[in-house]
Amino acid sequence: MNVLLTSVGRSNYLIEGFRSALNGRGSVFAADASADAPALQEADRAFIVPLINQPDYLDIILDICRKQKVGLIIPLHELELPLFAEYREHVVKDGITLVISSPYVIDTCSDKWAANNFLKKIGLNVPRTYFTPEKVKIALEKKELSFPLVIKPRRGMASIGIEYVEDMEELELTFRLAKKRVMRTSIAEISAIDQDLCLLIQEYMNGEEFGLDVINDLEGRNVTVFVKQKLAMRAGETDRAVTVRHEVLESLGEKIGNKLGHVGNMDCDVFVDGKDCYVLEMNPRFGGGYPFSHLAGADIPAAILAWAERKKPALDWLNIKPGICSS
């Protein structure tokens, strides 16, 4: 089975992970719009493709799959997930296994307001969140909220457009400026979906930050959850972390996986403040935190290949050792 990773960027670890899992039974191909993408250099064959928002993007990906006899596609970029989800039937009719969640899952996770509503509905805690400084001012007067606060794009990624504010004057000024600036970033197109409500104001979370890999099979059933405590961040991604056993967070991740029904790996950010756990974000794809699970013994590329071939994954692939610190 040949595997194609799209928008591969810096995901060198996934190239190696799938190559190791294939063990000579197929090749690992990579596609990206940038010829300088680091992971392209390690693939068995690399393909330069148009940007995700170009009308011929999906047609070119499918043409590569047909010519190279690709049996499995793993999309890796947030902005291409809705496209693959919408046109899933066009892909699978060629006999290709596409590791993608439903449009509902993709939309829920990409819209932080929708994600908050989903999480609250299933009984989980989320940060207090508002659309306008006026709503924040009312909450402050009621003592429901206090500074510092976080301004973030409603549909954002990689920490683009995130600002921290310490008082009301700074909030009002920064909010207006952030709304203008977000329309000049790589998330401008998705932010324009609802431009008047494209930003959120959220309470700043204290406590310890954890990353979860919530692993579902290709039918959307939860099979395991890996927990890592984040020790350092860089450019919106985990830079250093240690694997831990945490029954509360494992149970939380299992609940999300079963209620949401995503496909494959989902990266979740959670803050633990005393006994309370707050879910910040859900990303239904391989996130930057997965390598820490892989280095601690997990092998989700091998598990995905097994599911695609209607086989049962080895139990070792779905477990990690606690106490493994990686950078």
Residue 117 pLDDT exceeds 90? yes
Residue 236 pLDDT exceeds 80? no
Separation of alpha carbons 61 and 87, rounded Å? 12
Average pLDDT over residues 220-233: 95
Helix, coil or strand: residue 45: strand
235, with CB counted inside 10 A (0-12, 13-18, 19+), is exposed
Mean pLDDT across the chain: 95
| More confident position, 41 or 90 | 41
- Provide the pLDDT confidence category of residue 159 given band limits of 50, 70 and 90: confident
What does the H/E/C string look like for 175-202?
Answer: HHHHHHHHHHCCCHHHHHHHHHHCEEEE
pLDDT score at 287? 86
Length of the chain: 327
pLDDT score at 288? 86
Share of the chain above pLDDT 70, in %: 99
Strands 264-273 and 208-216, sheet pairing: antiparallel
Average pLDDT over residues 251-276: 97
Work out whether the CA dihedral 268, 291, 264, 153 comes out positive or negative: positive
Residue 234 pLDDT exceeds 90? no
Residues 6+ positions from 6 with CB-CB distance below 8 Å: 31, 32, 49, 61, 73, 74, 75, 76, 77, 80
Average pLDDT over residues 191-202: 92
Task: Pinpoint the alpha helices (H) of the chain.
Answer: 12-22, 57-68, 81-86, 88-92, 103-110, 112-121, 133-141, 168-181, 188-191, 247-260, 290-295, 300-308
* Cβ contact 290:228 at 8 Å: no
Tell how many helices (H) and how many strands (E) occur in the chain: 12, 15
Amino acid, single-letter form, for residue 279: V
Separation of alpha carbons 157 and 284, rounded Å? 12
Residue 65 pLDDT exceeds 90? yes
Average pLDDT over residues 23-30: 97
What is the pTM (predicted TM-score) of this model? 0.95
Token couple for 116: 């908050």
pLDDT score at 156? 85
pLDDT score at 157? 81
Average pLDDT over residues 106-134: 97
Residue 285 Cα distances to 6, 12, 207, 305, 306, angstroms = 12, 15, 26, 16, 18
Separation of alpha carbons 34 and 51, rounded Å? 9
pLDDT score at 186? 85
Residue 61 pLDDT exceeds 90? yes
- Provide the pLDDT confidence category of residue 160 given band limits of 50, 70 and 90: confident
HSE value, Cβ hemisphere, 13 Å, CA-based, for 157: 22
Residue 14 pLDDT exceeds 90? yes
* Cβ contact 77:7 at 8 Å: yes
Residue 59 Cα distances to 55, 87, 90, 144, 234, angstroms = 8, 11, 10, 50, 35
For residue 209, the Cα-to-chain-centroid distance in whole angstroms is 16
pLDDT score at 225? 98
- Provide the pLDDT confidence category of residue 173 given band limits of 50, 70 and 90: very high
Average pLDDT over residues 287-292: 92
- Provide the pLDDT confidence category of residue 237 given band limits of 50, 70 and 90: confident
